[in-house]
Amino acid sequence: MLNQIWRNTSVFLSRPADILKNYQLSDLRPDLVAGLTVAIVLLPQAIAYAMIAELPPQVGLYSAIVAAIIGALWGSSNHLSTGPTNTLSLLVLTTLLPVVAPGSPEYLAAAGIMAVMVGVFQLILGLARLGVLVNFVSDSVVIGFTTGAGVLIGVSQLRHLLGLEIPSHHSLLATIEEIGAHIQEIHWISLFIGLGIFLLIVLMRVFKPKWPAPLLGMVAAACIVAALSLDQQGVIVIGELPRSLPPLTQFSLDLNWIANLSSGALAVGAIGLVESIAISRSIASQSGQRLDSNQEFVGQGLSNIAAGFFSGYSTAGSFTRTGVNFDAGAKTPLAGVFSGIFVLISILIFGPLAAYVPRTALAAVLLVTAYGLVDRKEIMRILRGMRGDTIIMVVTFLATLFLPLQFAVLTGIMLSLAIYILRTSVPRVEPVLPALNFRHFAHQPEKTPCPQMAIFDILGDLYFGAVNHIEETIRGHLENFTTQRFLLLRMISVGQCDISGIHALESIVDLMRERGGDVYFMRVQPPVLDQMKSTGLYDNVGADHCLSYDQAISYMYHHVLDPAICIYECSQRVFMECQNLPKRIDHPLEAPIKTEIPSGKVAGISPEELWGELHSEHPPLVMDVREPREFKKMHIMQAQSMPLFKLLSDSSMIPKDRQVVFVCHGGRRSTRATYLLTNQGYDNVKVLRGGMLAWEAACLIEAIDE
């Protein structure tokens, strides 16, 4: 057991060795170019995103350096760029605010501890190969959360844009109220600089989309502040950045912190993984790379742990930077490593120049980013789609605005699971009939169904949450169609079946057998068939009750349904096999439809025995009770044609002093005739067991198309 765990762990942790072993020198130049391009985008983003979390700019840069390198070396994607993101920064802020005060050393330590907690959570999921869990966060949750995050980021940055020195609030309403209370204190120089940078970035994105607009905007703002000495006129600047390698975090371990940060860490970890996996899959669909979600979990976990230990905070994959990395021609994960190195070189060389970057310029950058978070096209697609997705998105959006963000994320996840359970617990269970061309089945409530058999499509899994709905739907249908004794269940869409599903099927089988009929299954999927076999249901119903798609209706028609009912009591032509069947509804049978001939109540004879008696000194009289057209097509040479309705109209034509054998297609009409005559006192009548199908199978056909 321990050896297996170690082998699995070593496979994930040896990822850098695999990258270097397979690295080609021809990839170096495109990776360097891509790394430099991403670094130009990453540098201003890291500073701006740290502001969202109320952290010093260097914390964002340290996170960018460490996470970019570690995430690239231990991740799965060749192009995913890991580092600070806007949504995670907002989550970090709302999680830390109730615990410690921004700006204090404890705040930095708490951010580092939280990053380590996030990383450990993600690393455990990856090593345990639980990458599939990311699928439980629906796209509607992500869209609702990012939209709400965009609104929160935009509102939170208004104070910096306006030059107001007011504290952060984790409540949207409190932030708006605080800004309104200090609106007369607007610092107009800061506002004009911020609006100018905002306009500059927007124009560059329109006319020069390939230019690094945020970086150029920050440089322009810094030049204006330095040239006009605006920092001495009340314009708040971020200050000089330390020119050093990322230092180790000075942890101040407090168990109360861990308890208070745990829910936020789970939310950050979940959203970070969802973002990273979604981004890497999106790029992989274009690059053709095959991804390993578990390896990506490990990479994200290690990058967060490293960022936490080296004066950083929580990180994840960035869609913007990943797209830039791919478009720039990155070939391997080393492009991400180079981007982190270039950011490190930048702060070592240009760190002092950050002393003149105004906060209002960063606020302008973040306002543009916040606007980009609102994916209007995807929102409209969800609103036009299923109601459940709309509910999830709207509730997550409102929860993001008015609840602590960690609970907003969890609310969206829990609501997604609740709606999923609700959907799967009431799967579509529909009676279906053959379509006009008889090539497929469809729900056609306007048509009259077969009086003998109901066909149901079960469009969902047979598990404990759904079986009650499925069973009640079928029972309700059968209460309205009391003559249907047979049930054909189409199981093509049933992928799983638990013990509750088996019990439900057993209950339905018992119900149909009490009605004198039975249950048959069409196209049972292998996992469900295995469950039926292991629980004994397969043996209970019989192997001949599990039919293939092509043979199901033909088998039911020729071996199960009563053709006497088809001919004499049913005016419908539901199946293709019914189309050429004669209809004699003017000659109804006396025996009710529900009558089931009990086994052993009529005497029978096998095809081989009949063959021998027909060639004996005193051969029996063979009476074929099928319709004339059936008789003409194929019959036993010595047989006489006497359709069932004629026989039942005048049974006196049957002699009592000679043995008589009744024959039909499959044995059901002849059994009915034999049973009725036996009850009238005939003791010399028998039925050919299996009818003409058995006679043909025994290779005893003698007369065809006479």
Query: What is the per-residue pLDDT for 82?
Result: 95
Query: What is the per-residue pLDDT for 616?
Result: 87
Tell me whether residue 592 is in a domain.
no
Model confidence at 593, pLDDT cuts 50, 70, 90, reads: very low
Of the residues 415, 445, 464, which one is the last residue of a structural domain?
Answer: 415
Q: How far apart are CA 396 and CA 173, in angstroms?
A: 17
Please give the share of the chain, as a percent, with pLDDT higher than 70.
93
The CATH number linked to 477 is 3.30.750.24
Residues 384 and 478 grouped into a single domain:
no
Tell me whether residue 583 is in a domain.
no
pLDDT score of 2 more than 70: no
Residues 289 and 349 grouped into a single domain:
yes
* Arithmetic mean of pLDDT over the chain: 85
Tell me whether residue 423 is in a domain.
no
pLDDT score of 4 more than 70: no
The residue among 104, 51, 43 whose CA lies nearest residue 353 is 43
Residues 110 and 240 grouped into a single domain:
yes
Least confident of 105-109, 351-355, 514-518: 351-355
The CATH number linked to 625 is 3.40.250.10
pLDDT score of 6 more than 70: no
Residues 531 and 657 grouped into a single domain:
no
pLDDT score of 3 more than 60: no
Q: How far apart are CA 448 and CA 433, in angstroms?
A: 9
Give backbone dihedrals phi and psi of 109, rounded to 5 degrees, phi first: -65, -40
Please give the share of the chain, as a percent, with pLDDT higher than 90.
28
Tell me whether residue 214 is in a domain.
yes
Encode pLDDT of 437-451 as tens digits: 777 788 888 888 888
Query: What is the per-residue pLDDT for 263?
Result: 85
Residues 61 and 158 grouped into a single domain:
yes
Give mean pLDDT, residues 600-622.
Answer: 88
Encode pLDDT of 40-62 as tens digits: 888 888 988 898 888 998 999 99
Encode pLDDT of 518-565 as tens digits: 999 999 999 999 999 999 999 999 999 999 888 888 888 888 887 777
Domain count, the chain: 3
pLDDT score of 591 more than 50: no
Q: Quick one: 26 exposed, middle or buried, by C-beta within 10 A (0-12, 13-18, 19+)?
A: exposed
Give mean pLDDT, residues 154-161.
Answer: 86
Residues 433 and 392 grouped into a single domain:
no
Query: What is the per-residue pLDDT for 599?
Result: 53
Give mean pLDDT, residues 452-464.
Answer: 91
Query: What is the per-residue pLDDT for 595?
Result: 42
Query: What is the per-residue pLDDT for 585?
Result: 57
User: How are the residues of the chain apportioned to helix, strand and coil, as percentages rounded to the nearest 5?
Assistant: 60, 10, 30
Residues 195 and 95 grouped into a single domain:
yes
Residues 281 and 242 grouped into a single domain:
yes
Tell me whether residue 396 is in a domain.
yes
pLDDT score of 601 more than 80: no
CB of 698 closer than 8 Å to CB of 659 = no
Tell me whether residue 591 is in a domain.
no
Q: Which domain holds residue 442?
A: 428-568
Query: What is the per-residue pLDDT for 66?
Result: 96
Residues 383 and 434 grouped into a single domain:
no
Query: What is the per-residue pLDDT for 318?
Result: 86
Residues 269 and 410 grouped into a single domain:
yes
pLDDT score of 493 more than 50: yes
Q: How far apart are CA 331 and CA 197, in angstroms?
A: 34
Model confidence at 701, pLDDT cuts 50, 70, 90, reads: low
Tell me whether residue 497 is in a domain.
yes
Q: Give the relative orientation of helices 387-402 and 139-161 as an angle to the nearest 10 degrees.
A: 30
Encode pLDDT of 87-139 as tens digits: 899 889 988 988 888 888 889 999 999 999 999 999 998 888 877 766 667 77
Angstrom distances, CA of residue 126 to CA of 80, 275, 297, 305, 586: 17, 15, 5, 14, 73
Query: What is the per-residue pLDDT for 597?
Result: 54
Higher pLDDT, 569 or 14: 14
Give mean pLDDT, residues 238-266.
Answer: 81
Give mean pLDDT, residues 459-473.
Answer: 90
Of the residues 415, 444, 468, which one is the last residue of a structural domain?
Answer: 415
CB of 248 closer than 8 Å to CB of 62 = no
Residues 402 and 500 grouped into a single domain:
no
AA letter at 341: I
Tell me whether residue 481 is in a domain.
yes
SS3 at position 294: helix
Pairing assessment for the beta strands 685-688 and 660-663 based on DSSP bridges: parallel
Residues 564 and 613 grouped into a single domain:
no
Of the residues 362, 393, 415, which one is the last residue of a structural domain?
Answer: 415
